[in-house]
Amino acid sequence: MHYTGESESQAFALIYDRHSAAAYSLAYRILGSRGAAEDAVQEAFLTVWRSRSRYMPERGSVRTWVLAISHRRSIDVLRRNVVHLRRQQAASEHEDRHLEGDGTEVEVVRREEAREVRAALEELPSAQRKVLELAYFGGFTHREIAGMLEEPMGTVKGRMRLGLQKLRMQLAGDAA
């Protein structure tokens, strides 16, 4: 069935009325922030509107389609937020280093340790590195990481365990 003009707008309004609360709930669970969830839902429904001609009822219900789009947009917002936070942290660290001065012995040791950890992280397989970065730098739980990566929680935990073991071995090898 193909809608045109006003009936298309009415159909979209009906979809929004029926599914926006569930989309917001999903986005909020992923993002943990009202503003970020609202942004994700807005982006999701914009995508719904733009891709309305691509909806295929034989592949699932409208609700499933809307929630899948909402999930993807939430992950996109989450990734943008993580990148933004990393940039803020890097700028803040740069400013702190500039203000404090770089000459102290403690600072030199801390930088060397950070460099060693970053180098060890780079040696890990990307899947293990990604879960460790999300957990330790992003502050996400196993469950949140599993949702973001669309992987089973056992897989996430296994990658984290293996990644930490490899990091320990690499860092212990560097210390020897």
* CA–CA separation, 142 and 151 (whole Å): 10
Is the fold of 5-77 the same as that of 102-175?
Answer: no
Nearest to 66 by CA among 39, 85, 43: 43
How much is the pTM?
0.47
Distance of CA 12 to the CA centre of its chain: 28
Nearest to 32 by CA among 64, 63, 74: 74
The two counts, helices (H) then strands (E), for the chain are 7, 0
% residues pLDDT > 70 (the chain):
89
**pLDDT value at 172 more than 90:** no
Lowest mean pLDDT among 33-37, 138-142, 143-147: 138-142
Query: How high is the pLDDT of residue 96?
Result: 62
* CA–CA separation, 86 and 145 (whole Å): 17
**Top-confidence residue, 15 or 89:** 15
**pLDDT value at 2 more than 60:** no
Lowest mean pLDDT among 2-11, 48-57, 90-99, 126-135: 90-99
Domain 102-175 belongs to what topology?
Arc Repressor Mutant, subunit A (1.10.10)
Can you read off the two tokens belonging to residue 72? 């993807």
* CA–CA separation, 15 and 175 (whole Å): 59
* CA–CA separation, 167 and 120 (whole Å): 6
pLDDT tens-place string over residues 39-92? 999 999 999 999 888 888 888 899 999 999 999 999 888 888 777 677 777 777
Domain 5-77 belongs to what topology?
Rna Polymerase Sigma Factor; Chain: A (1.10.1740)
Cα dihedral value 163, 165, 170, 176, nearest 10: 160
**Top-confidence residue, 114 or 152:** 152
Query: How high is the pLDDT of residue 1?
Result: 46
% residues pLDDT > 90 (the chain):
28
Q: Per-residue pLDDT averaged across 133-157, rounded?
A: 86
**Domain regions of the chain by residue span:** 5-77, 102-175
**Top-confidence residue, 30 or 137:** 30
In whole numbers, what is the pLDDT of the chain averaged over residues?
Answer: 83
